[in-house]
Chains A and B, each alone.
Chain A
Amino acid sequence: MASKLYEERSQKIKDTVNFKNERVTTCFMGQAAPAAHMNVKMKDFAMNSDIMIKTTLDYINEIDAITSVDCLNIGVNGMRSDHSLPMAWLSKIKMPGRELPDDSLWQVVETNVLTPEDYDVIIEQGFETVFNRIFPTLVDMNEFQESIAYQQKNGQNNVELFINSDLPVVNSGFASPPFEVLCGGRSMSQFFMDCYKIPDKIEKAIEVMLPGSIQSMLSSINPLCGRGAWVGGWRGASALVSPKIWNRLVWPGMKAMGLALIETDNIATFHLDQCWDRDIERFLEIPEKKSIINTDGMTDLRKARKILGEHVAIMGDVPAPLLATGTTQEVKDYVTKLIDDIGPKGLFITAGCDAPANTKFENMVAMFQAANDWK
């Protein structure tokens, strides 16, 4: 049975997306941030689901005891990065304590596991044929099966741990649009070349992949743990690709996935890395007060608010370098100025993209304090 505080915070998430919130909403995002502060080796944190969940929960509770954390951006289910990220980016992940030093952060190895011929296979036989061939080369399938079994056995209990700590979650799902999947599989430079040389083929492959991507995104949502999903915008950022590529190969997929979430009464959170200034007005094409843009400090949020008004909520965007190297006063100044400039309505304050592993704990607290103290 969820507490009154949990229900209030859950309502605040909905109110913020709907621009009915009175005060700014504080939102935790820092997948790797807890380990160092809680004196847990990154190797243990990243490789052991139970340690990851307990450490993250203890870390957030420690902040929450000092200043309110209203919600989490994305649910923490203990799935290891080397099992979850290859599904999104068709890339191998190097892990601490395995290929990397014990206290290193996990990192994506970007190699072209996808060949140009694979576009034809996707078009003719479907994406599953290619995925089923490549995925076992990216992960240890025995470990992956254990990971799935862990989720089936412990998933619900882990969700309840967060509910019992009065911590609702905005997004329980995570989706990588076909453009991003192909980009990860081909590697960025090769894929961008393909976008110039064979755009027709890529467009067709994306069309074939999209229904499966939507279905998989919707099935990843656990309504008990956040009625929403990320739609990732990483390599498809406006700052990275030309308008020609963006309009034809990036935005149609992202938009379709966002609309599918909204049609099924879920929140669409567009997780946007890099700068999206050029195309920010395109988010007006999404039904109003149903979605969030979740930015990383590089998109101009003043401009975004001016253009988007009360159409799309904003989740952002304290920059990673500031959290890692700045002073508490600098963090507070950043947050206060952001709220001064774009107002508290429809605003979640969180780390830009993801608080880094070397985030100073006092800076994480300062970020939330500044938001909670804003008048």
Chain B
Amino acid sequence: MAKISELLANLEMDQLMEAVQNELDNGTDPLEILKEGEAGMIKVGELFSSGEYFVSDLMMSGEMFKEVGEMLEPHLAGKTNEVLAKVVLGTVEGDIHDIGKDLVYIMLKSGGFDVIDVGVDAKPEAFVTALKESGATILALSCLLTTCYDSILNTVKAVEAAGLRDQVKIVIGGGPTDESVVKYTGADAVGDDAQSAVRLCKEML
């Protein structure tokens, strides 16, 4: 079984899918196979943090993890993994970029979070509604345009106005975001990349 995590961490796509099929054929619990996939993704995250892997590697591993998930889905029959926490994720109003957001989505999912993706160009109300409906305790906002700093600010204000600010931690990320933007918008923290988003969310539990 360790082979699955290794194959995923080594980005061996074809061999990974073959190994997953073999485990299923041998009657291995699909939830255990999924956990192995998650272990592989954790290893990928470590390699990224240590500078051995790059964004393209994260994307490739994300794609592989997704395909493993799709392969296992018919066999899971409602079984679910333990969820660390719920996260509402989206790109803020006025910004239609989705690549960074989608990468954070897959890294958070494989890191054990239940992620509610509200999409791109999302209005503050959309984030608030998702927080209320899901009971999520973390809000992750993606922003690729400096002209959308005010959209982050308005979303933070909307969360405050909804009376949720005390229960919800807010992390931001995307090319032009840094500590000065955290200060400007009243968010709680900024992540440099998709892997640091996972680390930050875990720290906020």
- Residues of A whose CB lies within 8 Å of any CB of B are 94, 101, 104-105, 107, 109-110, 187-189, 192-193, 195-197, 238-243, 245, 319-326, 356-358
Contact = CB atoms under 8 A, between A and B. Distances in A.
A189 B63 contact: yes
Contacts of A241: 54-56
B59 A193 contact: yes
Contacts of B96: 94, 107, 109
Contact of A321 (B55, B60, B99, B176): B176
Interface of B: 11, 13, 53-57, 59-60, 63, 94-99, 102-103, 145-147, 149, 176-178, 180-181, 184
Contacts of A187: 99
A325 B184 contact: yes
A105 B121 CA distance: 13
Residue among B53, B56, B147, B177 with the most chain A CB within 10 A?
B56
A330 to B, nearest CB: 9
Contacts of A321: 146, 176-178, 180-181
Contacts of B177: 321
A321 B94 CA distance: 17
Given A188-B99, A242-B54, A321-B181, A196 B149 contact: no
Residue among A101, A188, A197 with the most chain B CB within 10 A?
A188
Given A110-B99, A189-B63, A321-B176, A195 B149 contact: no
A240 B56 contact: yes
29 contacts: A94-B96, A101-B94, A110-B98, A110-B99, A188-B59, A189-B103, A192-B60, A193-B59, A193-B63, A196-B11, A196-B13, A240-B56, A241-B55, A242-B57, A243-B54, A319-B176, A319-B178, A320-B146, A321-B146, A321-B178, A323-B146, A324-B147, A325-B181, A325-B184, A356-B146, A356-B147, A357-B146, A358-B146, A358-B147
A193 B60 contact: yes
A149 B177 CA distance: 40
B13 to A, nearest CB: 7
Given A196-B11, A239-B54, A326 B180 contact: yes
Contacts of A105: 145, 147
B56 A245 contact: yes
Nearest to B102: A189
A163 to B, nearest CB: 31
B60 A196 contact: yes
A14 to B, nearest CB: 33
Given A188-B99, A326-B180, 10 more contacts: A107-B96, A189-B59, A192-B59, A193-B59, A242-B53, A320-B176, A324-B149, A356-B147, A356-B176, A357-B146
Contacts of B146: 320-321, 323-325, 356-358
Contacts of B63: 189, 193
